[in-house]
Amino acid sequence: MSLPQKVAIVTGGGTGVGRATSLGLARLGYHVMINYSRSRDEAEQTVAEIEQLGQQGLAVLADVADDAACRRLVADTVSAWGRVDVLVNCAGTTEFIPFDDLDRVTDEVWDRLYKVNVVGAFHCARAVREPMQNAGGGMIVNVSSVAAQLGQGSSIPYCCTKAALDNLTVSLARTLAPQIRVNGVAPGFIAGRWTEAGLGANYDRIKQSYEKSLPLGRVCDPEDVAACILSLISGSLLVTGQTLTVDSGMMISGFHVKFSE
């Protein structure tokens, strides 16, 4: 008897941590559905790489802040492959605002970040509940940040939305047990295009400052974070409601760096 084909949805799966996770899931034997909001070319390239690994992939335009779009994303996945086993909520956004510039923290910034980073993850989790239960169980991983605990990062609203996402992880883990496990990962500074674009001229300075101060001597790359996500998916079936930190020791270092001069 052959085992059923496993299927994963990775939001924001075309770039950065999402891309690394999508490819890692393909190596584990999953078909992978990727959503994107702006990075169509990157998403389609990731699908091509998934197919090179011998698995099937699809890329679909879907804004996670839109509940109807999330439901269509899940319905398209079930239509294509009949089931959903894993959801990785990797889609996220931020605004780079110095913490002391409170006047730039507008209601529009709060609303946009909360709708994507928290409500979007909830939309997707709610949409996959039924197909996961129909498949006999599943796993959800939310991509958070050490900003949730440290209160430092790109902006105050970003830190707050990631703290809310950590609470959502625990709340959903209680609600969806025993069939569906819900965990999270909390990366530290992640090297790559997204962070570089946000920090601009300050990127190299901040990256080097972290590398000199972190206990393990380097910042995360997307593959480091993906490895933690994959360990939660393929590891012990008795882990739920946990957020795993992957930060090169940032949480224990006590180091703080300003994201702007």
203 in catalytic set? no
Q: Coil, strand, or helix at residue 245? A: strand
pLDDT, residue 257, reads 60
CATH number at residue 182: 3.40.50.720
Query: Rounded to two decimals, what is the model's pTM?
Result: 0.94
213 burial via Cβ count (<10 Å: 0-12, 13-18, 19+)? middle
Mean pLDDT by 10 residues, the chain (261 residues): 84 96 98 92 97 98 97 98 98 93 97 98 99 97 95 93 98 98 95 81 84 88 97 96 93 68 46
pLDDT, residue 39, reads 85
Within-domain flag for 39: yes
Within-domain flag for 76: yes
pLDDT, residue 261, reads 46
Is 97 within 8 Å of 24 (Cβ atoms)?
A: no
pLDDT, residue 66, reads 97
Q: Coil, strand, or helix at residue 36? A: strand
CB atoms within 10 A of CB 246: 19
Within-domain flag for 17: yes
Within-domain flag for 259: no
Could you list the residue range(s) of the whole structural domain that residue 102 is in? Answer: 7-253
Within-domain flag for 64: yes
Residue of 114, 158, 203, 210 marked catalytic: 158
Counting the structural domains of the chain, the total is: 1
pLDDT, residue 259, reads 56
